[in-house]
Structure 1
Amino acid sequence: MKRWFRRRVDAVYEDVLSREVSGAPTHVAVIQDGNRRYARRTGGNAPDGHRAGAETTERVLEWCQEIGVEELTLYAFSTENFDRPDEENEALFDLLCEKLREFADADRVQENGVGIRAIGEIERLPDRVQEAVSYAEARTRDHEQFVLNIALAYGGRSRLLEAARDVTAAVEDGDLEVEEIDVKTIERQLYDQPVRDVDLIIRTGGDERTSNFLPWHANGNEAAVFFCTPYWPEFSKADFLRGIRTYEHREESWRRTRARRAMALLGALGDADLPEARSVVDRFRDSLPTGERSALDDLEKRERPGDTDGVDAGGQAAD
């Protein structure tokens, strides 16, 4: 009876969250933490936990597509994970090979246009994993409706370091001028194919850190972060929707902050020739509370001293 009641409560809560969510982030990145701890708690071993986590991964992909997420990046294996026992890693590599091929061939992946990519130092992985990666990427190469990035042998700091070295080498070889280096230059060096800025990072398992994950695309975009306690195999749709709600609240706060900063700039300088500040205020006007919108209207009236009620600056009666 208790288990039935708990499932009923969870279903109702999930329904409430679904109705609260009004917009989806474009790119969600997930740190899938807790597989091994889940296995220990349930009396299994590490491979059992990884296999249970793989089932959660499939569900999360479905949830992302349901609400309109366009890109999902999963932190499947970090460079630090090479330090784990060989037998554990070998079992994980076998699972990766199995799931990459299985997933690439799945009807739902083919029908929904899911493009699978691997990011990281793939050359450090065993040959069989590299072959599975190549198969999955080739099988879904023409798919552009949804992007699934699998971070394998990945370390954010090492990727930035390699990009910096590549740019330096290009300058030394005369292929690139220093003044030509910009954001897009670095991004082209980071990955073979474009990766969108990250809007939301989700981490399961209770740790509150982002673990060197996509620093350029997440920190540079001031991504929202959602930490939750369930181990990855236990991660539910309600947990996922709570993460999306965190993103929405973060986005609303960001929009208000941008509008208030632009308002402060306009108010301090009183200069009608501040097109950037004006465009920010106009773009985010609806994000401000009603009282602040009234203050903005008053500010704009003061900036048009020739205006009078009912008469425009040219002396014509208002329509």
Structure 2
Amino acid sequence: MNKWLWDQVNSIYERLLSEEVTGTPTHVAVIQDGNRRYARQQGDEAHQGHRAGVQTTEQVLEWCYQIGIKELTLYTFSTENFKRPDKENEPLFDLLCEKLREFADSEQVHEKEVQIRVIGAINRLPERVQNAITYTTTQTQDYNQFVLNIALAYGGRSQLLKAARNIAEDVEAGDIRPEAIDIGMIENKLYERPIRDVDLIIRTGGGERTSNFLPWHANGNEAAVFFSTPYWPEFSKKDFLRGIRTYEHRQNSWKRTRARRALALLHSLKTQELPKARAIATQFQHSLPVSERSDKNNPATTDSAETTTD
């Protein structure tokens, strides 16, 4: 198939996918995998693959704006990446400095009020990268229309361990009581500013694992996961929309499951539990096939199934 025809097919498919998108995730997290393999495929050095990947990052930001996503987290450099040779990491650190400052000074970033944050063990990064991080986060710290989290020197379990130790220190100091520890407290200890629960994880490059990425916010929220074959520099809007569609299917499946469970329980619940079950069934039954929805004789929608006592 010649390139012109292939581009036309992709354009039509992309348009169809765009029309199918009816629900938008609030927070998407992306594992940008495949930059180095892309570079090797092109006969280039690893850092050239990372530079090609930055162009995809800028495109993904625009796609997020277009469909109404509010938060994007990019897994850019893990704690494991420190094991790579300096000749590979140093050009990447230079690229990070360049692009962080470029984002901070971008008219588009300021027009769209993008708040840029960096999460991870920042103190392990070279000083020049830390300075670029400080500049970028300071320039955008007052914005709240869109949040871009960049995970650098990041490890999900390391973040959880750090939070647990901080809480243990507060307990030992008598600042908090063990019984006062709750979800909100842990989330406040994980990052300087709150991060929304992750609705969708996208991983490029063909890998089928989430690599210790945002375990508290993704696993705890049962996030949908989309594994995409193209390397990050090759990741297209078509691939992105397919990921969004995966999220929608996951949400619809979850709603159907909730509705079916609620309807199944209605006939065996105690009287005082019926109102809650009815509310769940009513809220989600629209996601079921018509044949499974309750009718006027179903206790989910009538008062006759509820017994009252004086």
- For the aligned pair, the TM-score class normalised by the smaller chain equals over 0.9
| Off by >2 Å, runs of 4+ in structure 1 | 270-279, 294-297, 299-303
- Number of residue pairs aligned between Structure 1 and Structure 2: 308
**How does 1:136-151 map onto structure 2 within 5 Å?**
136-151=136-151
> Residues 270 and 303 of structure 1 are in contact (CA less than 8 Å); yes or no, is this contact kept in structure 2?
no
Q: Structure 1's 295 and 192: CA in aligned 2 closer, same or farther, altered over 3 A?
A: same
Q: 1:91 to 1:78 in 2, by over 3 A?
A: same
Q: Post-superposition shift, 1:262?
A: 1.6
What does residue 112 of structure 1 align with? 112
RMSD of Structure 2 on Structure 1 (CA): 1.7
User: Counterpart of 2:260?
Assistant: 260
Instruction: Report the CA distance between 1:270 and its aligned residue.
Output: 5.3
**Offset of residue 300 of structure 1:** 3.6
Structure 2 counterpart of 1:310 = none
Aligned to 2:63: 63
Question: Shift in Å at residue 121 of structure 1?
Answer: 0.4
**Distance verdict in 2 for CA 1:8–1:239, change over 3 Å:** same
**Could you tell me the percent identity over the aligned residues?**
65
Which runs of structure 2 are paired with 1:35-114 in the superposition (5 Å)? 35-114=35-114
Structure 2 unpaired stretches of 5+: none
Residues 36 and 50 in structure 1, CA contact (< 8 A), matched pair in contact too: yes
Q: Does structure 1 retain, via aligned residues, the 8 Å contact 2:208–2:227?
A: yes
Paired amino acid for 2:123: E
Show the counterpart of 2:226: 226
What is the aligned partner in structure 2 of residue 317 from structure 1? none
1:178 and 2:154 aligned: no
Matched AA of 2:197: D
Rounded Cα–Cα distance in structure 2 between residues aligned with 1:141 and 1:301: 48
- Is the 1:271–1:303 contact (alpha carbons within 8 Å) kept by the matching residues of 2? no
Residues 115 and 146, structure 1, Cα contact 8 Å, conserved in 2: yes
Per-residue CA distance 1:195-245 (angstroms, 9 max, x = gap): 000000000000000000000000000000000100000000000000000
Structure 1 residue 260: Cα displacement: 1.4
| Code of the aligned partner of 1:180 | A
| Aligned equivalent of 2:287 | 287
CA distance in structure 2 between the aligned counterparts of 1:46 and 1:71, rounded to whole angstroms: 28
* CA gap 1:301/1:286 in 2 versus in 1, 3 angstroms: closer
The 1:297/1:168 distance shift into structure 2, 3 A limit, reads farther
**Equivalent residue for 1:237?**
237
Could you say if the C-alpha distance between residues 303 and 264 of structure 1 is closer, same or farther in structure 2, counting changes exceeding 3 Å? farther
Secondary structure, in 3 states, of the residue corresponding to 1:274? helix
Higher Rg of the two aligned structures? 1
Report whether the alignment pairs 1:209 with 2:220: no
Does the CA contact (< 8 Å) of 2:295 and 2:301 recur in 1? Answer: no
